[in-house]
């Protein structure tokens, strides 16, 4: 929501990967870093084709920014640590998927992130009760096929909300 004061989440769209009694984990999908995937490929000494090395890495969140995650469309191929999040979205955190992406053999659509977002048990529920977040059903077209800068607006629009019309303060009836 517009009044989010935490600079880590200001104007963020977070894809929630897991939410349960132990807390929640997600990835910010609309904040890119000024780091190309080429830098990651080179740091990991992976062979790559130039046409797969230009996209930018996403800032997945403030936790463990030295750790990578790949959010991607589900496909028949599974990598070492692939976890199905939904019918059409998976999460992989192993190097083998990066090797495939670097050579054009990875998932058709993916976002490479550094870091992740997490909430302690009950923390996200409290933030939701305080109207800190606007919740929207996940939509893979917004995640993978919408320009990064337009994802927040597209997500809000998917439930009939104009994000530019949201008030900075919320009330309770």
DSSP string, the chain: -TT---TTTTT--EEEEEEETTEEEEEE-S-EEEEEHHHHHHHTT----GGGS-SEEEE--SEEEEEEEEEEE--S---TT-EE-SSSEEEE-SHHHHHHHHTT-S-SSEEEEEEEEEE-TTHHHHHHHTT--------HHHHHHS-GGGHHHHHHHTTT--GGG--SS----
Q: Answer whether residue 101 is part of any domain.
A: yes
Question: What mean pLDDT is predicted for residues 121-150?
Answer: 92
Q: Answer whether residue 161 is part of any domain.
A: no
The residue range of the domain holding 21 is 14-133
User: Cβ of 17: how many Cβ atoms within 10 Å?
Assistant: 22
In the prediction, which pLDDT does 62 show? Answer: 94
Residue 167 tokens, joined:
């008030």
pTM score? 0.89
Q: Answer whether residue 84 is part of any domain.
A: yes
Question: What mean pLDDT is predicted for residues 79-94?
Answer: 93
Report the alpha-carbon angle 120-157-110, nearest 5: 60
* Chain segment 21-67, per-residue pLDDT in tens: 999 999 999 999 999 999 999 999 999 999 999 999 999 999 999 89
Residue 72 tokens, joined:
């991607």
| Beta pairing, strands 23-28 & 14-20 | antiparallel
Q: Answer whether residue 82 is part of any domain.
A: yes
**CATH number of the domain residue 61 falls in:** 3.40.1740.10
Q: Answer whether residue 7 is part of any domain.
A: no
In the prediction, which pLDDT does 163 show? Answer: 78
Q: Answer whether residue 169 is part of any domain.
A: no
Q: Answer whether residue 120 is part of any domain.
A: yes
Question: What mean pLDDT is predicted for residues 72-101?
Answer: 93
CB 170 within 8 A of CB 1: yes
Q: Answer whether residue 47 is part of any domain.
A: yes
* φ, ψ at 51 (rounded to 5°): -65, -15
User: In the predicted model, is pLDDT for residue 119 greater than 80?
Assistant: yes
How many structural domains compose the chain? 1
In the prediction, which pLDDT does 2 show? Answer: 62
């Amino acid at each position: 929501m517009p009044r989010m004061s935490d600079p880590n989440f200001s104007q963020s769209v977070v894809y929630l990967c897991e939410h349960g009694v132990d807390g929640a984990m997600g990835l910010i999908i609309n904040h890119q870093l000024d780091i190309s995937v080429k830098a990651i490929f080179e740091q990991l000494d992976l062979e790559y084709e130039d046409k797969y090395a230009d996209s930018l890495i996403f800032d997945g969140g403030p936790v463990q920014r030295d750790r990578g995650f790949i959010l991607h469309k589900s496909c028949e191929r599974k990598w070492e640590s692939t976890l199905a999040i939904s019918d059409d979205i998976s999460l992989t955190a192993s190097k083998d998927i990066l090797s495939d992406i670097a050579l054009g053999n990875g998932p058709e659509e993916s976002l490479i992130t550094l870091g992740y977002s997490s909430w302690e048990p009950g923390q996200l529920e409290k933030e939701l009760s305080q109207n800190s977040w606007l919740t929207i059903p996940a939509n893979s077209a917004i995640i993978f096929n919408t320009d990064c800068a337009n994802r927040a607006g597209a997500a809000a629009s998917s439930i009939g909300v104009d994000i530019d019309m949201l008030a900075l303060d919320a009330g309770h009836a």
